[in-house]
Amino acid sequence: MAQVRESLGIEGMDVETAHNFRDKGRMKNLLRAAGLPCARHQKVTAKEAAFAFADVVGFPLVVKPPDGAASQSTYRANNAEELEKALSLNPPAPGHEVLLEEFKGRRVFVRYFFAQRKAVFHSLTQYFPNPLEAMRSRGCSGK
């Protein structure tokens, strides 16, 4: 949508900003640079890099596509065997990055709503059960 808006000269979110929301690793880098705490993360294109990240960060890890939505193709790996399985379901490769994140503490979701470039509303949410648990409890292919 941002590409269409830019090409037609329609006001709204530009392509660069849209990429900041779509690419979860990029978004975390920007949030961290702004001083907000974020889970340590790394995009990988090889299984070896995933296990090297796990050696540094430890388990559990979240394994997901960088541009995923609604916890689809997202897995929690509590150990090396589960990481191996998650990577087999979403194999990293050049041109197909997989995002790994540490999974520690509580997950909260912050949303802001803007009107005419001013924040008019925000919400802070914690889901019970969290999205990964909800997907599993519904029998959604182990995701």
Segment 67-111, tens digit of pLDDT: 766 556 789 999 999 999 999 998 999 999 999 999 876 667 778
CA distance 82 to 67: 22
Task: Decide if pLDDT at 42 tops 90.
Answer: yes
**Alpha helices (H) in 23-122, listed in sequence order:** 24-33, 47-57, 80-89
| Residue 102 and residue 65 in contact, taking contact as beta carbons nearer than 8 Å | no
Task: Decide if pLDDT at 137 tops 70.
Answer: no
Question: How many Cβ atoms are within 10 Å of 63's Cβ, its own excluded?
Answer: 25
Torsion angles phi and psi, residue 13, rounded to 5: -60, 130
Task: Decide if pLDDT at 2 tops 90.
Answer: no
